[in-house]
Amino acid sequence: MSRWTLGPERSEEAVAALVQAFAPNDPLRAYLAPDPGERERLSTMMFRRSVDTGLEEGRVDAWGDPIVGVAIWLPRPAVEEQGRSAPIGASPYDEFGPTVVGGVRTVREVIQRLRVIGRPDRHIYLDEIGVVPGHQRRGIASALLEAGHAWADDLGLPCALEATADATIAFYRSRGYAVIASERVPGSNFAITTMRREVARGG
C-alpha cells in the first residue's frame, strides 16, 4: 500500500506517525514546551486536533501500512470571508500552564499577520506533513505533496503553508513554492515563513 486517504478509524495511528516525524528537531514545539516530556504530550494533542480538523474540513492523506507519512490539507476562505472570531473561552492548552498558552497565542498572532500578507485569498492550506524517521528521503513527502497539489489544482486554488527551518524551505521551493513573507517569533530562535504555490495551468 502506498498513498491512501485516511479515515477516522486510523486517526490515532496518523497522530503517532506525526509525533515521531517531528520529535527529533521541531523548533516550534520545542519553543512551546522546552521540557521533552511535556513536549511529547503537547505534540500529541496538537496533532490530534490537526488530524481531526483535516478529517472534518479537508483531506488527510497517509502513506504506508503501518502509516509512515501523513499530510493534512485544509480549504481556507479569503480573509474577508472569515466570520467573526468566537468569544474567547478556556484554551484547550490550559492544562499545560501559562507558558504554553502564551506561546501558542504568540505563534498564532505571528501566523495571522503572515496569513494576511501571504495567503489572503481562498487557498488550500498544508497544515501538516511529516514522514517517520527511517522512511525519509524516499520520496514519500514528495508523493504526498503531489497528491495535495493535484487536488488543489482541480479546485482551481493555490496552496500555502508555513515553514520554520531552512531545509524545509528549500524542499518546498524545489516543489514549486515561493517565499512570500517571514517573521521571527518573539522570544524564540526561529522564524515562521509563509510560502505559496500558484495553481498549475495547462497540466
Domain ranges of the chain: 3-84+102-197
Average pLDDT of the segment spanning 33-54: 93
Q: Write out pLDDT tens, residues 122-161.
A: 999 999 999 999 999 999 999 999 999 999 999 999 999 9
Query: What's residue 42's pLDDT?
Result: 94
Query: What's residue 183's pLDDT?
Result: 98
Cα-atom radius of gyration of the chain, to the nearest Å?
16
| % of the chain exceeding 70 in pLDDT | 95
Query: What's residue 83's pLDDT?
Result: 64
Q: Among 127, 111, 116, 8, which Cα is nearest to 74's?
A: 127
Average pLDDT of the segment spanning 34-39: 88
Would the pLDDT of 1 be above 80? Answer: no
* CATH superfamily of the domain spanning 3-84+102-197: Gcn5-related N-acetyltransferase (GNAT) (3.40.630.30)
Q: Write out pLDDT tens, residues 79-112.
A: 999 765 544 556 788 888 898 999 999 999 999 9
User: Please, which residues have CB within 8 angstroms of residue 95's CB and are 6 or more apart in sequence?
Assistant: none
Average pLDDT of the segment spanning 166-170: 95
Q: Write out pLDDT tens, residues 47-59.
A: 999 999 999 999 9
Please give the mean pLDDT across all residues of the chain: 93
Query: What's residue 86's pLDDT?
Result: 47
Average pLDDT of the segment spanning 20-45: 90
pLDDT interval class at 181 (50, 70, 90): very high
